[in-house]
Chain A
Amino acid sequence: MDRRCFLKTSGAIGATLACGSASAAETPASKEFVGVLVDTTRCIGCRACEVACGQANGMLVPDVEKDAALEKERTTSEKQWMVVNRYKTEKGDVFVKKQCMHCWQPACTAACLTNAMFKTQEGPVIWNADKCMGCRYCMVSCPYNIPKFEYNEWNPDIQKCTMCYGRIKEGKRPACVEACPADALMFGQKRDLMEIARVRIYNHPRQYVRHIYGEQEVGGTGWLYLASVPFEQLGFPMHLGTTPYPEYTKEFLYSVPILDFGLPTLLIGLKLLVDQAGRNKHEDEDGEVSR
């Protein structure tokens, strides 16, 4: 095969490969994490999402008419994967939906020693009952205190939002997004959601604060929030920083194999030195005799 021919052939292979990757590029959706944009300026506090979540996931379905649940701030529980809270601000009542943030690099999955908690290829962070041993390290690690434990079951499960992973696999949107009558929730890929969020801020600078919660927090989250008032007034933790939580244990984890192999080497060397020193001492003492 001469050089020209070789170049032609390899060029043809290259072109085929390029075509192959082009056809793969047609569905980048499957390669990129999905999330939800919550526009709290649009939320009317009807809690239809809470009802939809309970129905879709077999969890508690709240009686929205009667339970007066907005009167006090709630957290998610082992019976409810998401809640809506009301905050009184200078811009009036603001309603905030609270659920798992589906972090880009989650603390809970890094904490899990059985991979029971894991981040799917699509983005939702979900949990597997057959692997979990119930150690609750995910709860200790989660900066948002999202995983909840069934303390009153003999065979307890961890309960948390799955972003309706089953529905996403079927090509549907999460139940809460589907149920929202006010268009406050939008499901999609993060890059698209970020673009939409930025456009809304630029177009309505007086309506929004210039902060998209979840863009940077703990290294970025799947759920993004827009608001009319600073997020600290809406119960969002502001002290979490932008470092992904698994980074905090990275140095220790790297040092483990180094120490596991390095330390014995050092100790064996130390022991040989001590043995040698002992022998020398012995020889010095017996020096006269042996000679």
Chain B
Amino acid sequence: MSTTTLPETRPLGMLQFVLKELKPKAPFLTPFNVISIPIILVGLVILAVRFTQGLGSVTNLNQEFPWGFWIGFDVVTGVALAGGAYVITFVVYVLKVERYHPIVRVTVLNGFLAYLFYAGGLFLDLGKPWHIINPMIGNSFGYNSVLFLVAWHFALYMTAELIEFSPAIAEWLGARRMRRFLQSITVGTVIAGFTISTLHQAGLGALYLMAKGKIHPLWYTEFMPVLFFVSSIFAGISMIIVEGTLSHRVLKDHMDAEHGEFDKLIFGLAKGAALTMFAYYFFKALIFIHEHHWNLMGDRWGNLYLLEILGLTLVPCFMFAYGIRHRSLGVVRWAAGLAILGVVLNRLNISLIAFNWFSPNHYVPSWQEVWVTAMIISCEIWVFRWVVMRMPVLRKATGFD
């Protein structure tokens, strides 16, 4: 790439420009920095211990609970919540609903970073992470493993999201020809990305199919893959509503007029969430009836199930509907928050809480596991902030159509 493609506004060479951009652009002592820097520093110490003394030194994982908080929350839950990107790119590029175009880039960026950091969390959890190369370069393909498919679809989808976001990087660098090329492959990438997303969202549910007999019967069903996929749709949409609301408070200064009007998109998003949530609830109810699950009601597992299905699925579903009908942004935002909680609880139930539910020594994450998760989220927000303050994500690039 030659510097001749740079617009006149940037007379510096590409390298100098990038170096200049690396420097902080905002005041250093913000509340977020004050909280997140100690979290990251202590997290690094925890990771140093983890990689020298073994996973047992910082986690509460044991022979009965091989997958803990890093898998159950960071990976399984994080990926569901990052589902917004494939939904919104599908709506904008395939269904051509241009209204949502202004939130495509920020959603794809959020999705990409979520995958990058939460898949990074997976890396921390592997006993021999240096062997991750084995299933990737092809010297050892376990085709018959669900995890093999999930890993590959993860990797491919991260690439797809990077390509979907890349025009923003090209605009930032002023690389016009590159941008034109990257934009021309967007629609194809979106179609591939949607397909891959369907499969790895469902694949996360399929991972637990062989844990039959370990997961409480209220949660174990052969339809877990379908349920994981459908719930990732409204989880992703709810995250867009919550993240959009938050970022429009915090990052207002970095937005132009077109990107500032997020509120008018909320009701449309809420409609999508409400419909998919109802479909999900209906499917859950069918399984409940078909499998005679009322026999399992009454104990604390039954109550936990009802909390998840009624309190954190059906209630927010109706709240969405109520909010849309009465044009109440507040109700819709609360509904989105509850819906997210419901998906978090569902994923944690399957991966941790109702996993080996009969065990007398049940797994509870150690403080280090939770701390490292907080560190991963902090790092993600750092990178997100760095990107949106420099690249045209929440505003249109000057000099590009």
Binding site for B on A (CB under 8 A): 75, 77-78, 107, 110-116, 130-137, 139-141, 143, 145, 148-156, 237, 239-241, 245-246, 248-249, 251-253, 256, 259-260, 263-264, 267-268, 270-271, 274-275, 278
Contact = CB atoms under 8 A, between A and B. Distances in A.
B195 A114 contact: no
B170 to A, nearest CB: 24
A111 B211 CA distance: 11
Given A111-B147, A137-B207, A263-B194, A154 B51 contact: yes
A112 B191 contact: no
A77 B63 CA distance: 8
Contacts of A252: 146, 202-203, 206, 209, 225
Contact of B210 (A107, A260, A267): A107
Given A139-B66, A252-B203, A274-B95, A152 B56 contact: yes
Interface stretch (B103-111, B126-134, B274-282, B367-375): B126-134
A152 B57 contact: yes
Contact of B129 (A133, A149, A253): A133
A138 to B, nearest CB: 9
A116 B54 contact: no
B140 interface: yes
A131 B145 contact: no
Nearest to A246: B144
Contacts of B95: 270, 274
B61 interface: yes
B192 interface: yes
Contacts of A136: 66-67, 127
Interface residues of B, number: 59
Interface in B58-112: 59, 61-64, 66-67, 90, 93-96
A127 to B, nearest CB: 12
Given A113-B135, A133-B132, A248-B209, 15 more contacts: A113-B147, A115-B141, A135-B147, A141-B210, A145-B63, A149-B66, A156-B55, A246-B144, A248-B222, A252-B225, A267-B90, A267-B94, A268-B191, A271-B93, A275-B96
Nearest to A146: B63
A110 B144 contact: yes
B63 A139 contact: yes
Residue with the greatest number of chain A CB neighbours at <10 A, chosen from B57, B127, B198, B206: B127
Counting from the closest, the 4 A-B pairs by CB-CB distance are A134-B127, A151-B56, A113-B148, A136-B66
B142 interface: yes
B45 to A, nearest CB: 16
A152 B212 CA distance: 28
A29 B278 CA distance: 58
Contacts of B126: 133-135
Nearest to B94: A271
Contacts of A110: 144-145, 210
A151 B209 contact: no
A18 to B, nearest CB: 35
Given A77-B63, A156-B127, A259 B213 contact: no
Contacts of B132: 133
20 contacts: A78-B63, A107-B210, A111-B210, A112-B145, A114-B140, A133-B127, A133-B129, A133-B134, A135-B125, A135-B126, A135-B147, A140-B207, A152-B53, A248-B209, A248-B222, A263-B198, A264-B191, A264-B192, A264-B195, A270-B95
Contacts of B141: 115
A251 B223 CA distance: 11
B52 interface: yes
B193 to A, nearest CB: 10
Contacts of A241: 212
A111 B146 contact: yes
Given A114-B135, A245-B212, A256 B149 contact: yes
A75 B356 CA distance: 16
Interface string B17-30: 00000000000000
B169 interface: no
Given A252-B206, A252-B225, A75 B63 contact: yes
Given A111-B210, A133-B134, A274-B95, A148 B63 contact: yes
A263 B195 contact: yes
A110 B212 CA distance: 14
Nearest to A153: B54
Contacts of A270: 94-95
A156 B54 contact: yes
Residue with the greatest number of chain B CB neighbours at <10 A, chosen from A114, A116, A251, A253: A114
Residue with the greatest number of chain B CB neighbours at <10 A, chosen from A77, A246, A253, A270: A253
B142 A115 contact: yes
Contacts of B142: 112-115
A270 B187 CA distance: 12
Contacts of B151: 113
